[in-house]
Structure 1
Amino acid sequence: MADGGSERNRQLPQNLQSLLRMAVEAGAAAGEGSAAEPMPEERRQWLQEALASAFSGQADELQQIKDCLQCLQGEPGEGTEEEEERREQALDLLADLCENIDNAADFCKLDGMRLLLEQYLERPEAELRWRAAHLVGTCSQNVPFVQEHALALGAMGTLLRLLDRDCSEAVRVKALFASSCLVREQEVGLLEFLKEDGFSVLMRAMQSDVMKLKVKSAFLLQNLLLSHPEHRDTLCSMGMVQQLVALLRTDHNSFHEHVLGALCSLVTDFPRGLAECRVPELGFEQLLREHRRQVQMQEEFQEELEFCERLLRICFQDSPEDSVGMDR
């Protein structure tokens, strides 16, 4: 009996979803006998312990959030190297805790988001800035309440400025992550992104020497075009077609797939984008054919190959049969 109890203790649920599932299973097991048969005392005690453990865990996490915020209080430039390390650890712990939606909401209600945006994204220490940007993104992912709260505090402008100008590569990458979390599937976020000239910032990020920025910014552009094709005219006016084609002329890399995907979105059912891709001086057709030859025998670039073939078909009426003959 003691061994059974020990085994059950090891299997206590780690979250409320697991707890509910176990409660249902326990109810089903009790129902296998007589309808009037009470739940065995041992199982009842086990469920009570599970409930107590789950809810005390929630309370413990809220207290941890409060403790971390207390650690983070203080004016910029204040404290020793040891104090900075404690603040880094507090931001790391908050990032783990705020993976949970309820914790992210509690963090905002305790004014944690304001602290990040008004102090920590402006700190002189890059280690604190990138952790703060990461935490903004972690809290905001797919949580409308947190997204709206952060945007109301001016998060988009601050994050795009960091992405565009910060001297730290890590800060720029995390600022892009946080910006993405605020703009995707969030109409208010997209409006702020447009107001802050976010597409120009993305263009410059794709032209940087930081490969992570190139890949992630091209991926974000591709997704924004898929979900918001109404902004294609704005992008064409910015010279986005020419800029994307220029990026394809650089040494082949993983971000080319997203560049080609963005170009597909700019030409599909959009005459202006199509016309710009067909300008002879751009040399886009020959570039696509060379790119296709480069990737067609490599299985890991299958999606990139499909984008090439789609662009050739849409822009230059290239059929699969014609392409095989021409490549030979």
Structure 2
Amino acid sequence: MKCKQNKGEESGEENRETKRKGKVKLLKTFLEDKDHKDLLTNIKITTASIVDSQISEASTSTTGDTYQNPLTTTMSGNSEDNQEDSQAQPNLAIEYAPNQDIPARQPRQPSNLQDLLRYAVEAGSRSRAQEAPNINRAASMNEANRGFLLDALNSMMVNVGAELEKIIKTLKENQDQKDICIGALDNLSDYVCSIDYANDFLKMGGLPVLQPLLEGSDPELRWRAAETVADIVQNNPFSQNFIIQTDFLNLLLTSIEHDSNTTVQVKSLYAVSCLVRDNEECLKEFIKRDGFSVLLRCIQSKKEKLVIKSCFLIACLCTDNNQVKQVLLSMGMVEQMCVLIDIEDALDTEMNEHLLSALASLIKDSPEAQSLCRLEPLNLKFKLNFIKEKHAGNEVYHKELEHVNSVLTEVFEEDSPEEFDHQDR
């Protein structure tokens, strides 16, 4: 699975988080019941014992009748596909010796999830009957809880390819149906958090169905489409290289700069950040399409979320990348950041922290950038010392003070005072 979050990046839409928490709470409540814990334990033990016993029996034999594991045979997918595969593959089936004694009657082993549940319930009932023969436990699970567990087990056996095809078809045929599209995008986001499923979605031709949503008239569908693109490309080189060959980077940059809805701008910037970080080819395209000018205008907008995300991306891209630093220096990014550090209206916001973080990354090992910071009209040294004095000893501003001291040390050759060195102790 993709590891999605870095500081300064979006943590996901609140409604999705609420839905996930609801599922977790429901499952936790279900599992707190002792009978349910015992049942799930029985399922685990039963499945393991079936497989172990079959492997143990098979390992003693070399020839004879072909044996097929009912669990793997039934749950592996379409039987016709399996037959076609088996014709193309060498025969690797386990075989029994012809005169091996097999008991005349054996319990019917589970061939699907419902049988597995029944098998486990029966096994648990026999075990409990031996422990307490006078207690009737036949009705230990009601129908609602049984259905809940079956749904949970069945969810593990979803045909994701078929689900992705269904989502693509739904989005293609219902562009004007907002609620239907939102539901489909929510389901899609659950799948494309997996790198493999994200790649499958692109290979199946799913990307074009997102473009009309990103360019549409409904702001919620626009930001959801942008967020889905971010989910697809984050930490995923294949998807990044796939999308950079389309016009989606231009679409996202246009949304960042011109969309009237701040949430759409923020989600589009999030998608661009996921696309260009740690991918040199995507970064080259970003620079070629003047992406840093878009980031500069985001910072100048003084919209807090746009400032924070833009600074986060700049700080990431500046790390050990002199080419990026030169581009930013040539467009006056250092001076703009120094000017935008606000010791009045934005003193108690997160904007200063992220501006200072980006500035610290930009000036590191760059004498030219450090020299620009010393320009008297920028008044940077006064601002930094003011922030130090104002937030001294306040743990809430610990990271901001770290960046302040880093810039003071790099630019003005001031040693960090002892009271700010506590993080190293």
- Same fold, judged at TM 0.5 (above): yes
Higher relative CO (Cα under 8 Å, sequence separation at least 6) belongs to: 2
Q: Which runs of 5+ in 2 are unaligned?
A: 1-34, 62-68, 78-112, 114-152, 421-425
Q: What is the CA deviation profile of residues 207-238 of structure 1, one whole-angstrom value per residue up to 9, with x for unaligned ones?
A: 32432222111111111111423221221121
Match of 1:213 among 293, 299, 306: 306
User: Would you say 1:154 and 2:247 are equivalent positions?
Assistant: yes
- Give the structure 1 partner of residue 330 of structure 2: 237
Aligned letter for 2:179?
E
Q: 1:208 to 1:3 in 2, by over 3 A?
A: closer
SS across alignment from 1:64: helix
SS across alignment from 1:207: helix
Q: Does the 8 Å CA contact 1:140/1:147 hold for their aligned counterparts?
A: yes
SS across alignment from 1:246: helix
Q: CA offset at residue 6 of structure 1?
A: 3.7
Match of 1:167 among 248, 260, 269: 260
Give the paired residue count: 299
Match of 1:72 among 164, 171, 177: 171
Match of 1:114 among 202, 208, 217: 208
Structure 2 Cα separation of the partners of residues 37 and 176 of structure 1 = 61
Shifted more, 49-58 versus 199-208: the winner is: 49-58
Q: What is the CA deviation profile of residues 126-152 of structure 1, one whole-angstrom value per residue up to 9, with x for unaligned ones?
A: 121111111111011111111111111
Q: 1:232 to 1:92 in 2, by over 3 A?
A: same
**Within 5 Å, which residues of 2 pair with 1:191-270?**
191-249=284-342, 250-252=345-347, 253-270=349-366
Q: CA offset at residue 60 of structure 1?
A: 2.2
Q: CA offset at residue 48 of structure 1?
A: 7.0
Match of 1:90 among 166, 176, 184: 184
Aligned letter for 2:166?
D
Q: What is the CA deviation profile of residues 230-254 of structure 1, one whole-angstrom value per residue up to 9, with x for unaligned ones?
A: 2212211211111111221251221
- Give the structure 1 partner of residue 371 of structure 2: 275
In our comparison, the structure showing a higher alpha carbon Rg is 2
Could you tell me the percent identity over the aligned residues?
31
Q: Which runs of 5+ in 1 are unaligned?
A: 13-21, 39-43
- Give the structure 2 partner of residue 62 of structure 1: 161
SS across alignment from 1:68: helix
Q: Does the 8 Å CA contact 1:199/1:235 hold for their aligned counterparts?
A: yes
Structure 2 Cα separation of the partners of residues 152 and 55 of structure 1 = 38
More helix by share: 1
Q: 1:230 to 1:171 in 2, by over 3 A?
A: same
Match of 1:310 among 406, 416, 420: 406
Q: 1:211 to 1:103 in 2, by over 3 A?
A: same
Q: Does the 8 Å CA contact 1:156/1:189 hold for their aligned counterparts?
A: no
Match of 1:189 among 257, 282, 302: 282
Aligned letter for 2:240?
Q
Q: What is the CA deviation profile of residues 129-181 of structure 1, one whole-angstrom value per residue up to 9, with x for unaligned ones?
A: 11111111101111111111111112111101101110111211110111011
Q: What is the CA deviation profile of residues 29-64 of structure 1, one whole-angstrom value per residue up to 9, with x for unaligned ones?
A: 999x999679xxxxx767778767799956522212
Q: CA offset at residue 316 of structure 1?
A: 1.2
